[in-house]
Amino acid sequence: MGLVSPVLTLLELYNPPMGNLDIVQKISVLILPVLFAITVHEAAHGWMANRLGDATARMLGRITLNPFKHIDPIGTVLLPLLMFLFAGFLFGWAKPVPVSWRNLKNPKRDMGFVAMAGPGINLVMAVIWALLVKLGVEIIELSQWVAVPLIYMGSAGVLINVVLMVLNMMPILPLDGGRVMASLLPPRYAIPFSRLEPYGMVLVVLLLVTGILGRLIWPIIQFTIEILPASDVVWQVITILFAR
């Protein structure tokens, strides 16, 4: 923890005090990490499906890093913006990547692999963002104009990707974790479990508004961030970004 105070002192020297970031500055810090997180997550689903025999996403142009192919105007733009402005946290969704399970080589097994690709790539991105934070810490006295954005956006990227990974791996359909669960269950259990999908998002929203969702996933989010590089700096920046 000895790293934190010197780094934050330097950030305050090179930028306006972190506690004084206005809403426009905070959104500027968050926008790139959010776009990368959702874009690469959805593209990973399509890439894995294509590898396993289903070219639907590729034919529809969804295996791409172009965020406009994956953005849902309400779930990716309007709702997260309103949630951040009025509730202090982010919640939303992107356009789901279409997968035709009949085209997969081993549909039951492969749907699990396709589902795991999204959260898996979020974990990879969280590690990359954490390494960028560490790089920013190392170079802040040499080039603050590079280091400060790296630390800000890197910390946001760590949180966003870890939250996406943990949330999506909850064993509730239509979340990725629910698809993984369905692929692992024996058919006699997987079929009735799959019939619960129409009610899954209602359950997620109920868990969210009652605060149960946060209590369930926050310890896992904390643990994951703690084992990543520069976690002490990441926590300090997250505190500032989401301060009310």
Distance of alpha carbon 132 from alpha carbon 158, whole angstroms: 10
Choose, from 12, 42, 141, 197, the residue flagged as catalytic. Answer: 42
Structure tokens at 51: 């590898």
Q: What is the pLDDT of residue 1?
A: 37
Per residue in 68-119, pLDDT (tens digit) is 888 888 877 777 777 766 666 666 778 888 999 899 999 999 999 999 999 9
Q: What is the pTM of this model?
A: 0.87
Supply the Cα-derived Rg of the chain in whole angstroms: 19
Q: What is the pLDDT of residue 89?
A: 65
Q: What is the pLDDT of residue 7?
A: 46
Q: What is the pLDDT of residue 90?
A: 67
DSSP assignment of 149-199: HHHHHHHHHHHHHHHHHHHHTSS-TTSHHHHHHHHHS-HHHHHHHHTTGGG
Distance of alpha carbon 173 from alpha carbon 34, whole angstroms: 23
Average pLDDT across each block of 10 residues of the chain; the chain has 244 residues. List them in order. 43 47 81 90 96 94 88 78 68 83 93 97 98 93 87 95 95 95 95 94 90 93 96 91 71
First to last CA, the chain: 24
Distance of alpha carbon 20 from alpha carbon 137, whole angstroms: 21
Q: Judge whether 42 counts as a catalytic residue.
A: yes
Distance of alpha carbon 230 from alpha carbon 131, whole angstroms: 8
Distance of alpha carbon 57 from alpha carbon 61, whole angstroms: 6
